[in-house]
Chain A
Amino acid sequence: MAKSILILATKAPYGTEDFFAGARLALAMLASGSISRSTVLMVGDGTLNAVASQNPGAIGMPSNVEAINDLADFEGEVFVLEDDLKERVGDMPLVEGVKRISWEKARELIFDHELVTTF
């Protein structure tokens, strides 16, 4: 009987719809009222979804930034694995509300949530 779910975001933005789909799933869990904690953790290429300067309008795609903002409206937390992001693009400004996290904290998140699903 789970009350919490962690969405592990592993794919880069806009090449696939995975991050957007994962963020919408996270939002729906909170909106339902039956799941009290629904969190997004960006790892690997998924960390690129945290880049503040993304402009999906350039290719006519729905915005992952808006998906993150919508989640924040329901107090859903979004974390980015700091080392993975730095390894890929250096130290970039993040979408507002996204929190940097270490592997140690990421491991805690895995066991703080009863279920984990990967996008």
Chain B
Amino acid sequence: MKRTLLIHLRSGSMMNMDSNLVVKLAKAALDKGHNVRIFGYGEGITPIKEGQEPKRFPNVGKELTELAERGATIVVCETCCAARGIHRGEEVKGSKIGSLTNDLSKFVSEADRIVTIAR
């Protein structure tokens, strides 16, 4: 049965492997035919910043774009972005700077399950 998985990420892009885990879970859920929503909050907004080029580690930004191309919806918190100097137009393709009130609430209302990836 097709269901909707909401992944709530609150770890930064390079602080640990949490954003890589989010990508793996999202890929697996899409492979199973589920809908995937990812919401980045706090440090969890940083993976959507374009131009990150880790030399040896996986490029999460590019992977997020690939997930979006497969139908995942990826939104991060605007207030958290402003606090970290990340602005609209700087998101990787397929992701969006949005809000808790408009976007996360919609994701929550659509979700069958939530997984929180945070420390």
* Residues of A bordering B, CB below 8 Å: 1-3, 5, 17, 21, 24-25, 28-29, 31-32, 34-35, 115-119
Contacts and interface: CB of A to CB of B under 8 A. Distances in A.
Contacts of B110: 1-2
A117 B102 contact: no
Contacts of B99: 28
A25 B104 CA distance: 9
8 contacts: A1-B112, A2-B108, A28-B104, A35-B109, A115-B6, A115-B108, A115-B114, A119-B118
Interface residues of A: mostly helix, strand, loop or mixed? mixed
Interface string B93-118: 00000011110111011111110101
Nearest to B79: A24
Contact of B41 (A21, A32, A34, A35): A21
A94 to B, nearest CB: 26
A116 B114 contact: yes
Contact of B42 (A3, A21, A34): A21
A21 B109 CA distance: 19
Nearest to B114: A115
A119 B119 CA distance: 8
Given A1-B109, A32-B106, A115-B114, 20 more contacts: A1-B110, A2-B110, A2-B111, A2-B112, A2-B114, A3-B109, A17-B42, A24-B100, A28-B99, A28-B100, A28-B105, A29-B108, A31-B101, A32-B101, A32-B105, A34-B106, A115-B6, A115-B111, A117-B116, A118-B116
Nearest to A28: B100
